[in-house]
A and B are shown apart, each in its own frame.
Chain A
Amino acid sequence: MKSNDISLPTVPFRTRGGVRVPHRKTTSTCESIVMTVPSQVSIPMQQHIGAPCKPTVKVGDIVCVGQVIGDSDQFVSAPIHATVSGKVLKIADIPMTNGAKCQAVVIASDGLQTPYSELKPPKTDTLDEFLSAVRASGLVGLGGAGFPTHVKLRVPKDKNVDTLVVNGAECEPYITTDHREFLENSENILYAIVKVKEMLNLKRVVIGIEKNKPDAIELMRNLIKKEGKSDYIAVLALKASYPQGGEKVLIEACTGRVVEMGKLPADAGCIVMNVTSLGKLAEYLKTGMPLVTKRLTIAGSAIKEPKNVIVPIGTMIKDVIEFCGGYSEEPKKILMGGPMMGIALTTDELFILKQNNAILAFNEKDARLMETTDCIRCGRCVASCPMGLMPPLISRAVKLNEIEELKSLGAMNCMECGCCSFSCPAGKYIVQTMRTAKAMIRSAK
């Protein structure tokens, strides 16, 4: 469903459902601090969807920051770079968040952070050069799965993409990294926006920022006006409702277009990029330094000094938390990502990936699981689902193993945002059921 309207919106379009989550963004005023270089980093060779990279360095090699240490010849992949300078200690399998193992390059840092001598701004005169540059920057999407950015930007000709939607909603509680990106890196963001718009020959750019970040909204609006880009870039103050930053929800809020089930944003004429990705892209285009660090919000009731820190990718979570003063009390739940969609970890001895944006640790009280009862059919999950699904009917179909019914209920449409479980007074793990439903449909194919 694509409207061809390409006028600049001034107010957001209405979206369905959503929930009011507590914001708890206490770190939004914490200027990002660069973490002291860890003594060792373990950089997994798969930080994106698609083919894993193969190490291009050997044990004993001396590497510098920004040097390629892993690459793949497959299209759907992104190169991986050294994030500290030092010596390759070993190439070994390390545990990932999902329990699987992944090959990683372990580098002992020399503490100097010497940049790689061959880094230089890439040539981006043609679209192909630009896309190769995006690939070389190592950027992947932040939407959990880590879809390589250059793949997303390489839109098939027939798609007729006209709009860049910039995701600055940051609707997850606690997390403030995108907010800080706006405040600390606004000129780079705008630089990358203009570049992407020109290279892909887009008609307009819509930046969506949740209302709870008025300083970011104002800053961007003023900057755009000052640079004279108001004729094709608009900043929309989105309602502070979760999940405004969900890709499909954001597209609808910013353009009024609905991405059909199973289709991509490009089918609705849109490309969605996260602000932090844009900021990183600009840095690469200007300096040639690829994606080697990430800003993380470290927060939660069990963290002594909540902060925004800039850490090298591959740093152990434990080291980052120690940098933030360690735990204030015994953590009972550690999340990679926000409380709505983040993954609960079983240990803090895991490593930061490209697409991470937060590590949250909670005490016993916040981690305690809710008591569950049977579904009382209150309908709150139905009212809150942004995708218009009816979880109780889907749960029933899962129980009765009715695949056709699951399909016609649109279970595949679920984006696992968690609004349903959040609002459920019976404490049901609806998202888990939705995942089961999707797996059932997939395996039936």
Chain B
Amino acid sequence: MVGKLYASSSPHLRQGDTTRKIMLDVIIALLPACIASVVIFGYMSAVLIAVSVVSCVICEYICRRIMKRNNTIGDLSAVVTGILLALNYPVSLSPLIAIGGSVVAIVIVKQMFGGIGQNFVNPALTARIVLLTSFSSKMSNWTEPFAYLNKNAADAVSTATPLADGEHLTSYFDLFFGIHGGCLGETCVLAILLGGIYLVARRVITPLIPLTYMGTVAILSLCFGLDPIYQLLSGGLMLGAVFMATDYTTTPLSNLGRFVFAVGCGLLTMLIRQFGSLPEGVSFSIVIMNILVPYIEKFTRLKPKGFIKPKKESASK
């Protein structure tokens, strides 16, 4: 006699990846950028990241409790949001504001729309934009790299980001290694690329969106008579293209949709950089494209194999 048997629906085999494993991979991929931020901007970076992560997780936990939903902190997506948020802060930002950012990202953007997979805009980017509009000076108070080594100057050394300085004062070398003012995680292109390569190797993302985004930016820079390498290496572009524009929830499902999405991101970024009053357009472009995802999805729907339009069924043949 056999005991009780599980009688679930087919298939009875799964490939082994889980939401948690994917999120863990994203966290691992973000580590180089985190480490780079600590090296470049000092221990305060680590504090900001920690505060941001912990507050995101706590927000998620409390939200789920209040809404009487199952506890989802185990899927690690709140940790990812926390890290991404912190990587978008200047090192001089007060941890209190960072906590505010977590509340916006998790409570308002993510959980109010139903939690993981349901939010239509990227939580980290939206929170950044909210903070940018409410605390614009604090959010754009850039510190010189390695200022923490310089005891005399304390932390008062302000600088401009390479995009905002108007002229190309930063060398490609400094841009690539992130030795310039900017947000925690967006300066070191090398670290971001390492993370990106890891994600592709682990098949968490495909290179489609990052490459299309970067390609569009490069082509448009040429059209606008700008230096494409400079445009690619500066601002939040790399971080955005690799980690933000590839966020599953807020991007289209099909490859065609993702391509359109990435072209849109590149286009908006360059339009904002060239014609907008803001120096940096990555966050805004991605969030705007996030909002457009349902529409992109409508016209980039896959055609099912051998599909015949339901109405024409009798007429065809």
A residues near B (Cβ < 8 Å) are 1, 16, 19, 21-22, 173, 248, 258-263, 327, 330-335, 339-348, 362, 367, 369-371, 373-379, 382-383, 386-390, 392-393, 407-410, 413, 416, 418, 421-427, 429, 431-432, 435
Q: How far is the CA of A370 from the CA of B6 in the complex (A)?
A: 12
List 14 A-B pairs, Cβ < 8 Å.
Answer: A1-B306, A260-B307, A340-B13, A369-B6, A371-B18, A373-B18, A382-B302, A388-B303, A388-B304, A407-B310, A409-B304, A421-B10, A425-B21, A429-B9
Given A379-B248, A408-B310, A390 and B8 contact (CB-CB distance below 8 Å)? no
Residues of B near A373 (CB, < 8 A) are 18-19, 72, 75, 116-117
How near does chain A come to B260, taking the closest CB pair, in angstroms?
14
Q: Is B3 a contact of A422 with CB atoms below 8 Å?
A: no
Q: Is B305 a contact of A388 with CB atoms below 8 Å?
A: yes
Q: Is A390 a contact of B301 with CB atoms below 8 Å?
A: yes
B residues near A (Cβ < 8 Å) are 2-3, 5-15, 17-19, 21-22, 72, 75, 77, 114-118, 248-249, 251-255, 258, 297, 301-310, 313
Residues of B near A423 (CB, < 8 A) are 15, 17
Residues of A near B15 (CB, < 8 A) are 19, 422-423
- Chain A interface SS verdict (over half): loop
Given A173-B13, A339-B11, A370-B14, A344 and B6 contact (CB-CB distance below 8 Å)? yes
CB < 8 Å: which of A258, A340, A389 contacts B11? A340
Q: Is A261 a contact of B306 with CB atoms below 8 Å?
A: yes
How near does chain A come to B306, taking the closest CB pair, in angstroms?
4
Q: Is A410 a contact of B12 with CB atoms below 8 Å?
A: no
Q: Is B12 a contact of A387 with CB atoms below 8 Å?
A: no
Q: Is A410 a contact of B307 with CB atoms below 8 Å?
A: yes
Q: Is A258 a contact of B306 with CB atoms below 8 Å?
A: yes
Q: Is B7 a contact of A345 with CB atoms below 8 Å?
A: yes
Q: Is B3 a contact of A330 with CB atoms below 8 Å?
A: yes
Given contacts A258-B305, A422-B14, 14 further A-B contacts (CB under 8 A): A258-B306, A339-B11, A339-B13, A340-B10, A370-B18, A376-B22, A378-B248, A387-B305, A389-B302, A407-B310, A421-B10, A425-B19, A431-B9, A431-B11
Q: How far is the CA of A426 from the CA of B252 in the complex (A)?
A: 17
Given A334-B5, A370-B14, A421-B11, A261 and B301 contact (CB-CB distance below 8 Å)? no
Q: Is A376 a contact of B19 with CB atoms below 8 Å?
A: yes
CB < 8 Å: which of A19, A263, A342, A435 contacts B12? A342
Q: Is A375 a contact of B14 with CB atoms below 8 Å?
A: no
Residues of B near A19 (CB, < 8 A) are 15
Number of CB contacts from chain A to chain B under 8 A = 169
- Residue on A with the closest CB to B306? A260
CB < 8 Å: which of A330, A409, A431 contacts B10? A431
How near does chain B come to A387, taking the closest CB pair, in angstroms?
5
Q: Is B305 a contact of A344 with CB atoms below 8 Å?
A: no
Q: Is B2 a contact of A348 with CB atoms below 8 Å?
A: yes
Q: How far is the CA of A374 from the CA of B115 in the complex (A)?
A: 8
How near does chain B come to A30, taking the closest CB pair, in angstroms?
21
Residues of A near B7 (CB, < 8 A) are 333, 344-346
Q: How far is the CA of A13 from the CA of B171 in the complex (A)?
A: 51
Q: Is B254 a contact of A334 with CB atoms below 8 Å?
A: no
Q: Which 10 A-B residue pairs are closest in the complex by CB-CB distance?
A: A410-B304, A418-B11, A260-B306, A339-B13, A379-B253, A344-B7, A432-B9, A339-B12, A425-B17, A373-B19
Q: Is B308 a contact of A262 with CB atoms below 8 Å?
A: yes
CB < 8 Å: which of A327, A333, A376 contacts B248? A376
Residues of B near A386 (CB, < 8 A) are 305
Q: Is B13 a contact of A422 with CB atoms below 8 Å?
A: yes
How near does chain B come to A388, taking the closest CB pair, in angstroms?
5
Residues of B near A390 (CB, < 8 A) are 253-254, 301-302
Q: Is B12 a contact of A413 with CB atoms below 8 Å?
A: no
CB < 8 Å: which of A327, A343, A376, A435 contacts B116? A376
Q: How far is the CA of A327 from the CA of B1 in the complex (A)?
A: 10
- Residue on B with the closest CB to A417? B11
Given A330-B2, A347-B5, A375-B117, A418 and B19 contact (CB-CB distance below 8 Å)? no
CB < 8 Å: which of B11, B18, B249, B302 contacts A425? B18
Q: How far is the CA of A373 from the CA of B249 in the complex (A)?
A: 13
Q: Is B14 a contact of A344 with CB atoms below 8 Å?
A: no
- Residue on B with the closest CB to A373? B19
Q: How far is the CA of A373 from the CA of B10 in the complex (A)?
A: 18
Given A347-B2, A393-B297, A429-B9, A413 and B19 contact (CB-CB distance below 8 Å)? no
CB < 8 Å: which of A261, A371, A416, A425 contacts B22? A425
Q: Is A387 a contact of B304 with CB atoms below 8 Å?
A: yes
Residues of B near A22 (CB, < 8 A) are 13
- Residue on B with the closest CB to A435? B9
CB < 8 Å: which of B116, B305, B313 contacts A413? B305
- Residue on B with the closest CB to A421? B11
Residues of B near A16 (CB, < 8 A) are 305
- Residue on B with the closest CB to A367? B6
Q: Is B307 a contact of A418 with CB atoms below 8 Å?
A: no
Q: Is B305 a contact of A374 with CB atoms below 8 Å?
A: no
Q: How far is the CA of A162 from the CA of B251 in the complex (A)?
A: 45
